Structure 1
Amino acid sequence: MVNYNLESNEAILIQSTGVLCEGGGIMTAYTDELILSNINIIHISKGIFGNAKGVKKYPLSQVKIINGEAQAIMGKSSNGMPDLQIYFVNGQLAFQFQSSGKKEIMGL
């Protein structure tokens, strides 16, 4: 796991390794980390050899809420694998999980 400095009022709820952020480019692999805290969704982009390439934070306050439901759902990627689709006020993200994708998504 890459060191991530939590805010003073932030706690990690769930973290997953072996994650692929869809739309990451041609040479993407299941090398990233995804962390859900009580404040943010944190995506840690990693290279093939495990070196951190970048950390992006997405505030939970920016996730779309429709009829009281957060718009984070299990969908299917272009290759037919289950993915986690998160819809934000200004865009969307999709993540695939290397092992037991459906089980990991349902656990979030």
Structure 2
Amino acid sequence: MLRNAINTHDKQYFNDDNWIINQTRFPNKAYSLKQTDIYKQLTAIREFRNRIVHHESIRFNATRTIDTEYAKERYELTLTYIEYMGFDSASVLRMVEKPYSTLKVIDSMK
């Protein structure tokens, strides 16, 4: 019953006959990606976001040496999930500062 109510609610947002397919949160995800993989990756993105919001350093690795690979990987993962949701990541983030130039400066401090 709840499922039918959700379907009825969602149908109003989709005009095509395949509206049930469009309910998928990640319509463009890789077919082989499992729910547990999605959960782990979204958790990694959330934890990265929390580090940024709480002003924690993202320039060090676990051994406390300067390493921006963690930040680069998480940013790329975020871009991937924007694409999985069916959006163009470049247009979604066009007004957002890109981290590449900052990360390049940090890498030069090694």
Q: TM-score, normalised by structure 2?
A: 0.24
CA radius of gyration, larger in: 2
Q: Which has the higher contact order (CA 8 A, sep 6+)?
A: 2
